[in-house]
Amino acid sequence: MDVLLRQLRSLKKLLRRRGATTDQAEDLVQEAVLRLHAYTRQGGQIQNQEAFLTRTALNLAVDQHRHARQDSYESEPVENLDLPDLQPSPDEVFAAEQRLMKMREALDRANPRTREVFFMHRLYGFSHAEIARRLGISVSAVEKHVASAVTILAMDRQRE
What's the half-sphere exposure (Cβ side, CA atoms, 13 Å) at 89? 3
Residue 55 has pLDDT above 80, yes or no: yes
DSSP secondary structure code for residue 124 in this structure: S
pLDDT tens per residue, range 95-147: 999 988 888 888 888 889 999 999 899 888 999 999 999 999 999 999 999 99
Contacts of 29 (CB under 8 A, 6+ apart): 8, 11, 12, 15, 53, 57
CA geometry: angle 85, 86, 90, nearest 5 deg: 85
**pTM score above 0.95:** no
Distance between CA 115 and CA 123 in Å, rounded? 11
**Mean pLDDT value across the chain:** 87
Distance between CA 94 and CA 97 in Å, rounded? 5
* Long-range Cβ pairs for the range 23-31 (8 Å, 24+): 24/61, 24/64, 28/57, 28/60, 28/61, 28/64, 29/53, 29/57, 31/56, 31/57, 31/60
Distance between CA 94 and CA 19 in Å, rounded? 45
More confident residue, 144 or 51: 144
Alpha-carbon Rg of the chain, whole angstroms? 30
Which segment of 40-54, 75-89, 97-111, 127-141 scores lowest on mean pLDDT?
75-89
Reported confidence tier of residue 75, pLDDT bands at 50, 70, 90: low
Reported confidence tier of residue 70, pLDDT bands at 50, 70, 90: low
